[in-house]
Amino acid sequence: MNRGVEKLSEGKLQGQVLSDFKSFFDEESLGGLGERARSAKDGVLSEGRHRVVVLDFEKNGKRLKVAVKAFGRQGFLKDRYDFKKGSKAERSFKAANFLKSRGVGTPQPIAYFDCWEGSRLVESFYLSDYLESLVSFKSALIQAYQERADCRFLVAKLDHIASAIRRMHDVGFWHRDLGNQNMEFQVSGDGEWGEVQFIDLNRGRIREVLSLKERAQDFSRMRLPSAFLNVLARIYWKGTPPKEFTKEMISRRRSFELWERSRKWRHPFRKWSRGLVGSYPEVQDIWIWDRESAQASITMERYERKRFYSLGRHYKVAWAVLKFAGKIWCEYRRQIPLAYQSQIDLKGRFGVALESTDLDFNRQVELLEKLEGVSVLLRFCHHEGMLCWKEGVLQVKRLVDSGREVMIAMVQDRGAVNEPDSWAEFLSLVSLIEVSHAVNRMKWGVHSAKEQGQLWEPLVPLMKEYPQLKISGPSCIDFEYHYVLSAFEGAPKGLHYGALSHHLYVDRRGAPENFQGKFSTLEKCGLLRAIAKVVPACDDQVIISEVNWPLEGAGIWSPVTATYVDAGAPEHPLSVSELDYGVYMLRYLVISVCSGFVDKVYWWRLVAHGFGLVDERAEGGWRERIGFKMLRVFLEQLGSATFLEKLEMEDDVYAFRFERCDEQILMMWCNGRNYSGPWPVEFKYALNASGNVAEIKEVGDSPIYFFL
């Protein structure tokens, strides 16, 4: 028994009380405890089978404000169990004393009282100190979802929760009912969360050491999207959780979800009453923005996402491939020999993306002035709301008035699917747009072909009202062209695309010349051109509206790590140095456009710590990376040139000849090797990729400009 705990018996009530509070409880104060707890109208903290109310106890001019949990009547078998093991109130009291004595947060236990009639438990009460303005983790999460809280806010709160759970487990307490509603805290005026207070402790067990399975079982009852539950576990373990823990957590979580889904059959009337209070959105409707990496957060792990991919989606993809694959493959085989066979004017072929909301737009425009003739892509995000959209329209007008060509990308969220009127209003803002964003990734809010069609439905009347409207799409991402075909096939009748736009990242293969099976960047672009030529719903034009490589050392600002990065975690294998980033991108621009397969490429993006040409978080202010200088030199030398031919060279040696006015330039590089001659042409002088005159003895990965 804990020190300072005394037995107390008053009338039919028997129990235990902390010595410091014993004076408040006598026959008079306890005589009507049950009636007071059941009939209280004010200070009700929780309704249901077990009722929690705030009651005042007064003695000798002193007042004690107490949270009283009145446990409801239960069946005969549970009474028999409690008669041997102790009532829920008794177990709560002992568990709270245990946690409190070891520095783990829980409201100060005060007493418990039971009324037994033989072996039947008639009344049972647990009393603890009343802490004002407590907010449950459940309520905080629901509010965060409703207010569309940023990913960083949620990760910070998970860090707060994980640390508290780890302390509780390490002292030897297994909660066994650790739902979000059973973790509470006070919120300060500036929004900071106070110490986590664990409640509803009656199911808990005290152990010398908790096993991995016991720790995992406590995680299984938390209502979090699986990807964020995984973040919570990684914070808890300060790295990758043990395999046994993860396996048990996933298994128990699935069992708990089945049990939750069966609630409406087990307790139909209780389910109805619960629906009257705030509730979580369905997990597939939770959409969280990650500002640092400028993308939607992954909310569900693969095993959970599979539940929401309908069979119909797979059938539609399969049908689209069967319908078009033969014609596209024939067209692809016709196109590939034509690569680099046409002279191409490079003027207006290259663009960069700006950030319209989170960064100083004026400073971005100043940087833009250093990039000669470059076009601009501006993303409008549905989740940002009308004020941001209107500001974006003004930014577009400013850029157009300055002579820049502007392309708009309309980025949906889950709300765009669930609120079609809002999405239709969103689309009515501009006249040159890329519609939808990475619809083959569930994190961007589109889960089926039907939902894709719903997104695009408002475009049909819009195109009739504004004949000048040019739409590009369907803007899928990565080398997953079967989804591109499915998206075209699922478009509403009357919708026609002026261009096929795509986000073609090839970073998983390293250099742009590297192959994925039989496809390098060249072949992937050729296949895009074949799709644009074959699919009736699209004009013969291809735009790559997003491409970059993730940068080393970017942490949560990197698009390939994002959300949460373990302390001391190794660098992500896809990340590259700033030098390789610039080099790879220049080579990508030349391969894609000079092949004749792609009409325009947009570099994503001008300013971004994890993937941009300029680092806005650098010490001392915005820093132009070497890639910025490389792009500036590239545009100065070749931005208005004409591509003439690709020269035949040794394996992994690339040489492209251009003409600018009356001058010819040879751009040359290698992939993963060095080349020291013989040079394919006589030249006057050479510049390296940064624009410096160089004495050339060999060519490596970084492009060299030879002036003939």
Residue 203: give its domain's CATH number. 1.10.510
Cα 527 from chain centroid? 30
Same domain, 246 and 117: no
Q: What is the pLDDT of residue 270?
A: 56
Cα distance between residue 335 and residue 530, in whole Å? 7
Omega before 512 within 30 of 0, i.e. cis: no
For residue 353, give its domain range: 315-640
d(CA 656, CA 648): 9
Q: Which of 196, 151, 140, 191 is nearest to 169 (CA)?
A: 196
What integer pLDDT is reported at residue 431 of this predicted model? 52
Q: Which of 301, 414, 391, 374 is nearest to 602 (CA)?
A: 374
CB burial of residue 707 (10 Å; 0-12, 13-18, 19+): middle
- Asked, for residue 298, whether it belongs to a domain, the answer is no
Which residue spans within 512-605 are E strands per DSSP? 542-546, 600-603
Q: Do 624 and 589 share a structural domain? A: yes
Each residue's pLDDT tens digit, 527-538:
999 999 999 999
d(CA 10, CA 26): 6
Q: How far apart are CA 369 and CA 95, in angstroms?
A: 66
Residues 323 and 469 grouped into a single domain: yes
Whether residue 300 is contained in a domain is answered as no
* Positive/negative CA dihedral, 427, 428, 430, 432: positive
Same domain (yes/no): 554, 666: no
According to the model, what pLDDT value does residue 141 have? 95
Are both 663 and 636 inside the same structural domain? Answer: no
pLDDT of residue 269: 59
Q: Which of these, 242, 227, 332, lies nearest to 284 by C-alpha position?
A: 227
Cis amide prior to 550 (ω within 30 degrees): no
Please list the alpha-helical segments (H only) found in 402-479.
Answer: 414-418, 420-427, 449-456, 459-465
User: DSSP of 619-671, one letter per residue?
Assistant: TTS-EE-HHHHHHHHHHHHHTT-EEEEE---STTEEEEEEEETTEEEEEEEES
**Cα-Cα-Cα-Cα dihedral sign, residues 44, 46, 50, 53:** negative
Joined tokens for residue 98? 């245990």
Whether 114 and 150 map to the same domain: the answer is no
Pairing of strands 51-59, 44-46: antiparallel
Q: Is residue 194 part of a domain?
A: yes
Residue 682 identity (one-letter amino acid): E
pTM of the full predicted structure?
0.90
Q: What is the dihedral of CA 100, 102, 104, 105, to 10 degrees?
A: 20
DSSP code at position 242: P
- Do 556 and 463 lie in one domain? The reply is yes
Give pLDDT < 70 ranges for the chain.
Answer: 1-3, 264, 266-278, 428-432
Whether residue 38 is found in the same domain as residue 169: no
Among 617, 640, 663, where does a domain finish? 640
Measured CA to CA, the distance from residue 228 to residue 299 in angstroms comes to: 6
Residues 550 and 458 in one domain: yes
| CATH code of 332's domain | 3.20.20.80
Q: Indicate whether 630 belongs to any domain.
A: yes
Residues 415, 53: Cα–Cα separation, whole Å: 38
Last residue of a domain, one of 592, 609, 640: 640
Residue 278 is predicted with a pLDDT of 64
What are the CA-CA distances from residue 316 to residues 18, 306, 312 (Å)?
A: 67, 16, 6
634 and 673 together in one domain: no
Model confidence pLDDT, tens digit, residues 219-266: 999 999 999 999 999 999 999 999 999 999 999 998 888 877 777 676
- Residue 556 in any domain: the answer is yes
| Residue that terminates a domain, selected from 616, 640, 664 | 640
User: Is residue 551 domain-resident?
Assistant: yes
Q: What is the pLDDT of residue 92?
A: 97
Cα–Cα distance for residue pair 285/573, rounded to 1 Å = 31
Task: Report whether 150 contacts 125 (CB < 8 A).
Answer: no
- The answer to whether 552 and 577 have CB atoms below 8 angstroms apart is yes
**Mean pLDDT over all residues of the chain?**
92
Q: Are residues 636 and 668 in the same domain?
A: no
Cα–Cα distance measured from residue 367 to residue 361, given in angstroms and rounded to the nearest whole number: 10
Specify the number of domains making up the chain: 4
Q: Taken in order 684, 688, 694, 700, is the CA torsion positive or negative?
A: negative
Q: Could you tell me if 586 and 639 are in contact, meaning their C-beta atoms sit under 8 angstroms apart? A: no
Alpha-carbon distance values, 569 to 56, 238, 240, 509, 553 (Å): 52, 10, 10, 22, 11
User: In the numeric block, which tokens belong to residue 480?
Assistant: 């997953």
Give me the pLDDT at residue 466, please: 78
Residue 297 in any domain: the answer is no
Tell me the residue type at 59: K
707 contact partners, CB below 8 Å, separation of at least 6? 663, 664, 665, 683, 684, 685, 686, 687
pLDDT digits (tens, 9 = 90+) for 64-97: 999 999 999 999 999 999 999 999 999 999 999 9
Do 376 and 360 share a structural domain? yes
- Strand pairing class (183-186; 197-198): antiparallel
Amino acid 430: pLDDT: 54
As a whole number of angstroms, the distance between CA 445 and CA 411 comes to 10
pLDDT at res. 50: 92
- Asked if residue 673 belongs to a domain, the reply is yes
Cα torsion 368, 374, 376, 377: sign: negative
Per the CB < 8 A criterion, the answer to whether 589 and 601 are in contact is: yes
